[in-house]
Amino acid sequence: SQELEQSPQSLIVQEGKNLTINCTSSKTLYGLYWYKQKYGEGLIFLMMLQKGGEEKSHEKITAKLDEKKQQSSLHITASQPSHAGIYLCGADNTGGTSYGKLTFGQGTILTVHP
């Protein structure tokens, strides 16, 4: 079965700093999803990547999928307290036929100090 390893497990940064979270898969990624979760709440979809080398941005968050499709990174520029939360990567391990059965990493807890 597919496993996703996220690093770091937790991150504390000062407001305004840039940061990167990594997600490494044990198998080829057919669909890689980034979600954000506030403590004790549900997940909110951020971005989805499918193609090797693909890069997407939303506001100050950029996600990339490497050419070999086994690693993704999430980069936040000029972090703000509103970015704080748990970031989760999830993989669609259905060989490209996405139907929502995702395998998630363990999450990265981000704290942003004002």
Partner 1 sequence: DTGVSQNPRHKITKRGQNVTFRCDPISEHNRLYWYRQTLGQGPEFLTYFQNEAQLEKSRLLSDRFSAERPKGSFSTLEIQRTEQGDSAMYLCASTLSSGYNPGELFFGEGSRLTVL
Residues near partner 1 (CB under 8 A): 4, 31, 33, 35, 40-45, 48, 88, 90, 92, 98-107
Q: Which is nearer to partner 1, 40 or 114 (CB)?
A: 40
* Cβ at position 89, least distance to partner 1 in Å: 8
* Cβ at position 25, least distance to partner 1 in Å: 13
* Cβ at position 53, least distance to partner 1 in Å: 19
Q: Which is nearer to partner 1, 28 or 77 (CB)?
A: 28
| Region of residue 26 (phi > 0: left; psi between -120 and 50: alpha; otherwise: beta) | alpha
Other C-beta atoms closer than 10 Å to the C-beta of 76 total 21
- What one-character-per-residue DSSP string does 44-95 give? EEEEEE-STT-EEEETTEEEEE-TTSSEEEEEESS--GGG-EEEEEEEE-ST
Q: Which is nearer to partner 1, 76 or 88 (CB)?
A: 88
